[in-house]
Structures are given as structure tokens and as C-alpha cells.
């Protein structure tokens, strides 16, 4: 790829919002936004944007999907590649099979090689050589502002795939598996579908992204289908030989009242339950990374770090390793996918029980969105706090969940699900608290 050219930008916030509207007009597009989150020690760019299609990969079947993707990536060496891995790809890595269904027809895996690249760094853009500076700025700045476009859309209809009472009973069943020694911890999730959704995807994402300000947000468009993600979690990043994973386990609400906010933060810091959840996943990630890392190179760089976001505090740990000479970055993805924070421990048995107790197939949810750089480095998020949207069907869905351990309170876990869905529900114009 040719060197990127610089373009200074005065009002990044407005420019970025209009750029999202521009991406909504393209068939293939992606924006990955850090929202200027300063606590990410491994962030490289403030925002990455790609659109247009030089080449395309997608897999509708799980079996053989990783081999096909690896072949595609080898053909694209020296190029940027953007896309996602769905949770269902677990079936390609282990002896598993999902029997649940999902309304969305998104592929199991999808990546595209873009025609255009824009990188945000501080107050300037780095753009690919094929982009005409004046034409590009004119197109973006000429788009209407949100205030001019704002309309009153009918309120969408929310339908939970799992009712509250069923959710509470299922938590008790999962705790029985823990008591019997079947598992130590399991990530249990529930899906909500949204029908009669008329609001444009771009405006929905702008609103959602402004509410959450998450460091691993993403706007991914495949023709009339979208993934709108405001994820706070990094799945896996590769920088040279170094691998970094940052699992989240532990959530507490934020409050406008500073005193209440500090109390909530302090409770999370000292929560033995959340620490137990977190350390189990840290051990799982260490084990996964050890499959492809040099002996003695696995380090827990931070344990039980407390990170503030707009609506929640999260307990995040950071684990790193150094790739051994006989492994590559794609080997690391296969060794660690799907991420332990969205499965449980032991991983294989947890995934079997997830399929048994959840009422819908996860699909892209708890998969990963990200990119491969021209040099082979990569960075992927965990697809949580995310909306899957089909413009033609005027339908969307999102899932929320949490780690279940033996001392989990079913009612407390359900409240945590609603807390995690807060920004999504607010952006959809729906109540943030309900009984079913």
C-alpha cells in the first residue's frame, strides 16, 4: 500500500458523525472507533474507517471456515482486511454443533479488502492515496447534521427470547452443574429482538456511540445488514510477536451522584465474586495463549483493573504472551477463539451447556470484529453491547449476559443484563427496566 496522506480536521466529532452517514451510503463499510479512550495502553489509532470492496471473503458454513479464511488472508498479504468472526465458528475448532436457530442470515465469517482507508490520529486524518482530498471533504461536510435529519420514528417493538422467570430458573440449573463439578463458571446470555425499527442505522449508531463512548466500538455494513457495536472489550491484539488479551469479568453501575458512583466502584474493587469470575477467565486465557506462545512468556500485566465507562465500571485483566517461532498470528486466533470471557470454564463443556440452555444461536454476538494490517498485525474486539440490524426487514436483535458462578444471584444477574443493555435500550427509545 502507498503511504497515507495527511488531512487536518478542525471539528473531529462532527466530521466523524457525517462520515458514518457517508458509510451508510456504501455497500461495504467499516468504522472502528476508540472514542479517544485514553486508558487503552495498546491503542494505535483513534479511529479506523474503510469502505469499498477490492475483494471479499465470507463463509456460510462453519466446517473448514478457518482454513478458507487463512488461505484468503495469505492471498491478501500487504493489504488491510476488515470483518468479523461469528461465535458459531467454535464448531470448526472443536467437536461441537449448535442446534439453535437465529433470525439473521449474516455469514459465519465475513471479511473485505477495502478500496479506501482513513485513519484518525489526533486532529488529522491519514487517507489512502486514491482518495481525492477536496472531493472527499466536500462529500462528508455536505451531509446534513443530525438536527436537520431528526424525525419522530414509531417506537420499535421489543421481544425477549427468554422471559425473566425462565432466565431465573435457568441460572439455578447452571448452578447445579457447577455444584456437580461439571463446570466452574459459564457465560449465560439472552437475546432480545427488536421489530418495526425504522430509524436509520447511521443515526442509531451515532446516538449509541455517543452514549457509550466505548473503546472498541464498530459500525460494520454489508449491503442492507449492519453490526452496531459499542463494545468495551478487546479480544486479541497482535503487535509483532506480542499477543494481548483483555477479558472483562465484573460489572458495576455508574451514577451521576459522585458519592454513589465511588461507592459502586469500591464495591466492584472489593467484590470477591467478581474477582473469582475474573481470575477463572484469566487462567483460561493464559492456557489458551500458552498453546502458541514461547515458554515463560505468558504474563498477567494487570489483574482486576477497574475501568470507567459512561454507564458502567468494568473489571478488566490484561494477559500477554510472545508468539513462538513455529506459530503465527492466525494460529493464535484459532487457539483462543471463542474468547473465554464469553464461554466459561472448562471451555468445551461450557459451550455445550450454552447451546443447551440458550434459546437462540449466538451468531455474530460474542464473536469478534476487527482488522488485519498490511504487516499481519491485528486487533479484534468482543462483540458485546451490539445491535445486529437488517434494514430490509426493519428488524434487529441484541444479546446480554454474564458469568454464572455458584454464588451468583439469579435476580442480580438479570439486573446486570439490563444494566449492560442500558445504552442500547435508550438509543432504541425503549424502557431500560422491565419485568419480562
Q: Are 335 and 253 in contact (CB under 8 A)?
A: no
Cα–Cα distance between 248 and 338 in angstroms, integer? 14
Q: How many CA atoms lie within 13 A of 95 on its CB side?
A: 0
Q: Are 50 and 116 in contact (CB under 8 A)?
A: yes
Reply yes or no on whether 196 is catalytic: no
Question: 272: which residues sit within 8 A by CB, 6+ positions away?
Answer: none
Comparing CA positions, the residue from 325, 338, 217, 348 lying closest to residue 285 is 338
- Give the DSSP per-residue string, 198-252: -S-HHHHHHHHHHHH--TEEEEEEETTEEEEEEE--EEEEEETTEEEEE-EEEEE
Comparing CA positions, the residue from 115, 113, 109 lying closest to residue 129 is 115
Reply yes or no on whether 249 is catalytic: yes
Nine-digit cell at 328? 503465527
Could you say which DSSP state residue 89 is in? G
Comparing CA positions, the residue from 126, 128, 18 lying closest to residue 80 is 128
* Pairing outcome for strands 312-322 and 242-246: antiparallel
Question: 134: which residues sit within 8 A by CB, 6+ positions away?
Answer: none
The catalytically annotated residue of 185, 203, 233, 277 is: 233
E-only strand ranges, 76-165: 81-85, 109-113, 116-121, 124-127, 157-160
The gap between the terminal CA atoms of the chain, to the nearest Å, is: 52
Nearest-10 Cα torsion for 364, 99, 401, 111: -10
Is the CA virtual torsion 371, 384, 49, 195 positive or negative? positive
Please name every residue paired with 30 in a beta bridge, in sequence order, or none if there are none. Answer: 50, 220
Nine-digit cell at 248? 472483562
The catalytically annotated residue of 16, 108, 237, 249 is: 249
* Residue 257 Cα to chain centre, angstroms: 29
- Give the DSSP per-residue string, 226-239: EEEEEE--EEEEEE
Nine-digit cell at 319? 494477559
Which residues are part of the catalytic machinery?
233, 249
Amino acid at each position: 500500500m502507498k503511504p497515507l496522506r495527511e488531512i487536518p480536521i478542525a471539528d473531529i466529532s462532527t466530521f466523524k458523525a457525517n462520515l458514518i452517514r457517508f458509510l451508510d451510503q456504501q455497500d461495504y463499510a467499516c468504522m472502528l472507533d476508540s472514542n479517544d479512550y485514553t486508558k487503552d495502553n495498546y491503542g494505535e489509532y483513534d479511529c479506523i474507517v474503510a469502505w469499498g470492496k477490492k475483494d471479499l471473503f465470507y463463509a456460510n458454513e462453519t466446517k473448514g471456515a478457518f482454513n478458507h479464511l487463512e488461505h484468503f488472508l495469505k492471498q491478501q498479504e500487504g493489504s488491510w482486511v476488515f470483518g468479523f468472526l461469528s461465535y458459531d465458528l467454535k464448531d470448526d475448532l472443536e467437536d461441537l454443533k449448535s442446534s439453535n436457530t437465529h433470525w439473521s442470515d449474516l455469514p459465519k465469517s465475513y471479511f473485505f479488502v477495502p478500496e479506501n482507508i482513513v485513519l484518525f490520529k489526533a486532529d488529522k486524518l491519514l487517507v489512502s492515496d486514491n482518495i481525492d482530498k477536496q472531493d472527499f471533504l466536500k462529500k462528508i461536510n455536505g451531509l446534513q447534521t443530525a438536527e436537520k435529519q431528526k424525525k419522530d420514528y414509531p417506537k420499535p417493538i421489543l421481544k425477549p427470547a427468554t422471559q425473566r422467570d425462565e432466565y431465573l430458573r435457568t441460572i439455578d440449573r447452571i448452578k447445579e452443574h457447577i455444584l456437580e463439578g461439571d463446570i466452574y463458571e459459564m457465560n449465560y446470555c439472552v437475546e432480545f429482538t427488536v421489530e418495526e425499527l425504522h430509524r436509520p442505522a447511521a443515526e442509531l449508531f451515532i446516538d449509541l456511540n455517543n452514549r457509550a463512548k466505548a473503546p472498541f466500538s464498530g459500525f460494520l455494513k454489508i449491503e442492507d445488514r449492519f453490526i452496531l457495536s459499542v463494545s468495551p472489550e478487546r479480544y486479541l491484539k497482535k503487535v509483532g510477536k506480542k499477543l494481548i488479551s483483555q477479558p472483562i469479568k465484573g460489572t458495576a453501575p455508574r451514577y451521576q451522584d459522585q458519592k454513589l458512583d465511588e461507592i459502586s466502584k469500591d464495591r466492584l474493587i472489593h467484590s470477591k465474586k467478581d474477582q473469582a469470575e475474573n481470575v477463572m477467565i484469566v487462567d483460561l486465557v493464559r492456557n489458551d495463549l500458552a498453546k502458541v506462545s514461547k515458554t515463560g512468556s505468558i504474563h498477567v500485566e494487570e489483574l482486576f483493573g477497574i475501568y470507567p465507562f459512561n454507564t458502567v465500571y468494568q473489571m478488566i485483566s490484561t494477559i500477554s504472551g510472545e508468539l513462538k517461532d513455529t506459530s503465527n498470528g492466525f494460529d493464535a486466533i484459532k487457539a483462543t477463539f471463542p474468547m473465554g470471557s464469553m464461554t466459561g470454564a472448562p471451555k468445551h463443556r461450557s459451550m455445550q451447556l450454552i447451546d443447551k440452555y440458550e434459546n437462540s444461536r449466538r451468531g455474530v454476538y460474542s464473536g469478534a470484529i476487527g482488522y488485519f494490517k498490511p504487516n499481519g498485525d491485528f486487533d479484534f474486539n468482543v462483540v458485546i453491547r451490539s445491535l445486529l440490524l437488517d434494514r430490509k426487514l426493519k428488524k434487529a436483535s441484541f444479546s446480554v449476559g454474564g458469568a454464572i458462578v455458584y454464588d451468583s444471584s439469579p435476580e442480580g444477574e438479570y439486573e446486570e443484563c439490563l444494566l449492560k443493555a442500558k445504552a442500547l435500550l435508550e438509543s432504541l427509545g425503549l424502557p431500560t427496566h422491565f419485568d419480562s
